[in-house]
Each structure stands twice: as C-alpha cells, then as structure tokens.
Amino acid sequence: MNSDLRCAYRVVSIARSLPPERRLQGASSLERLRVELRRDVTVIRSRLSTPKAGIRKIANRRYGTARAFYRIKLHRSKVGDPILIYSVGKVGSTSVAAALEDGVAPREVHHIHWLTDAKLTDARKNHREGANRYRGTDKSRRFFQRYVWVGEYLSREIAKGGRVWTVVTLVRDPVGRNVSSFFQNLESFFDFWPREELENRDIDEVAHQLVEMFLTSYVVKAQTVEADGDPLVWFDEELKEVFDVDVYASEFPTEAGFDTYSSDNAKVLLIRLEDLDNVASDALGPFLGVGDITMGRSNDSSDKTYADAYKRFRDLLVIPDVYLDRMYTSTYATHFYSESEIAAFRSRWTT
C-alpha cells in the first residue's frame, strides 16, 4: 500500500482506539471517512510524494473529510489549560489569537465564535452547503471554517464540567463591525467573489453594487446575516448561555477599555477593539500570567488584494439614521461606549 494511504488509514485507526467519549460522533462518521479515503487512492498514488502532503491533499478535497481529520487532531491534542478567544467575528479576535499563540506557548489558543448547539449546527450546515456547491474547486475551501469544528469539540469538553476556562472576548463599534464583517464574508455569505468581479468590471460599478447589497441586507431587512451573528445579542446568546457570565450586570470602565468577569466555570477578560493596541499588555499580561504581548494585524481588509474596492465601498457608503439609531441606542453600544464615543462613531457613517 502506498505510504500516503497507510498514513491516512493510521489516522482512522487512531480514532478507533480513542475512548468512546472522545471518538467522532458515531461509527458512521468513521465509515464515511474510510469511504472518502478510498476515493482518494488514485489521487494519492499519482500526485503525492510524501505522507504529510497526502494528508493535506485528502483533507483539502471535501468538507466532510477535512472536518473529520481536524476533529481527530483535536481529540489527540493535549488540551491542558487552553485559552479561548471567544467572540463574535470581526472584533479583532484573529489578531489577539495570533499574538497569543506566540506569547503563551506551550498553552493552546483556540479561536472560536460559537459554542451553543444551535449556532454550531447552523454554521456547520451553511458551510457544508457552500463547500458542496463548489466541490472540486478551490472555492470549496473558503467554507472549511475551523472555528466551527473547534467549537464543536470545545462545547463537549465544557459540558463535562470540572474546570475553569480562560476566555478572552472583545467588543467593537457595532456598525463598524458589521461593515467589516459584510466585506470579509462576501464569498461565504453572499456568494459574491470580489476578485472575479474586479477582473471583469469597473471598480466603481462593483463598489456601488456592494453598497446596495449592504444596505439591503443590514438596513432594509433590519438584521445581520444569520450565519454571521449579531453583536447586539451575542453576549446573551453565547457567553452568558455557555459560561453564565453577564457582562451587562456591572458598569463597564470605558476609560480603561477592558474589564474582567468570572463565574463557576470561567474567568473572562473583555477588551474593546478600539483600545486594544494601547492596553493589550496591561490587560492580557496579568490576566494570562505572561509578559508583554505584541499585537499585530490579521484578517484585515486593508491587507487583502481587493483593498482598493473596500476603500471605494467605504467612500460611497452613507448609512441612514434609522439604522444608526437602532445600533447606537442598543444596550451593547451604550454599555461599552460613552456618549461622546458613540457620537464620534456616528459621524463616521453620515459624512
């Protein structure tokens, strides 16, 4: 048998040897994985030269296979005392996770957005549908979102009880967050591929269409995209539901820009993205028991190849007062930001 295939089947064998509570859900998952591996035999034999490359190729081919392999990896990991970067998307969580991976080793850092069963189920369904829609193409990997697979694993670990989890979460200007999230997730949530569009159309035409899409989805429909999450309710639906931490129960120190909370099974640090660069070391260092933390930028639209389109989109976007009123009078906005800060946020979207 080809060495790549032996290596792949060894992963399955390891999964079978795990204790029942750590196996993949149901034997059927393993059988599906074995079927997927058999289908890839010819690819491995003809295209791959090393076991490591073979595993990567298999895991990149299909959503179910990629999810299965990654879950096996998680089950074999030494969890120890991991740090959970747990927040709604596009609030700086990717940058924090990247900084901590370098600064807290060998502790593991898990970056997740969902831990509740309902949200994980919805996210998995949406991503699987997207991956299957583009199966066999490079686009399918856009839907291989590991934060969902990690969330599934961690939700089961948390349910076992008996430990206190270390959690870092963040907040951000809710309108700025929604605008950034919209543009970041055009492919996965709107089936709109900016690079392809910019190859065939004028940048102004693309930018005008994006403005219309945002206003229709977020303003006219008066809601965020369900798969993306709503920052206004995330803390109640996720953090409070999973860890019994109510961030609204006490006044937030807006001048400090961060605060800590605790419950029977979690200690939580909350930081405002707007203050992150200035307070990262003061907030993260003592909370995690480490030295200085150096922040960088990750997952930033200004770093992507369609940065010009994003800039043009932002220049054209003027958000109606009805939407700004709804966002900036919310409990979320008024709890974490002062009146003067909210006024400054509003001015960004009306001029």
Q: What is the pLDDT of residue 69?
A: 65
Name the nearest CA neighbour of 341 among 257, 247, 224, 258: 257
Q: What is the pLDDT of residue 22?
A: 47
> What is the rounded distance in angstroms from the CA atom of residue 233 to the CA atom of residue 214?
20
Tens-binned pLDDT, residue by residue, of the chain (351 aa): 444 445 555 555 544 555 554 444 445 555 555 555 555 444 444 444 445 555 555 555 566 667 766 666 666 665 568 999 999 999 999 999 999 987 887 789 999 999 999 999 999 998 889 989 998 888 988 888 889 999 999 999 999 999 999 999 999 999 999 999 998 889 988 999 998 999 999 999 999 999 999 999 888 876 555 556 899 999 999 999 999 999 999 999 999 999 999 999 999 999 999 999 999 989 999 999 988 888 876 665 554 557 888 999 999 999 999 999 999 999 999 999 999 999 999 999 987
> What is the rounded distance in angstroms from the CA atom of residue 219 to the CA atom of residue 88?
19
70, HSE (Cβ side, Cα atoms, 13 Å): 19
Which run of H or of E encompasses 167? strand 165-171
Q: What is the pLDDT of residue 72?
A: 65
Q: What is the pLDDT of residue 174?
A: 95
Which amino acid belongs to residue 311? K
Does the predicted model carry a pTM greater than 0.85? Answer: no
A 10 A CB-CB count for 116 gives 14
Q: What is the pLDDT of residue 39?
A: 52
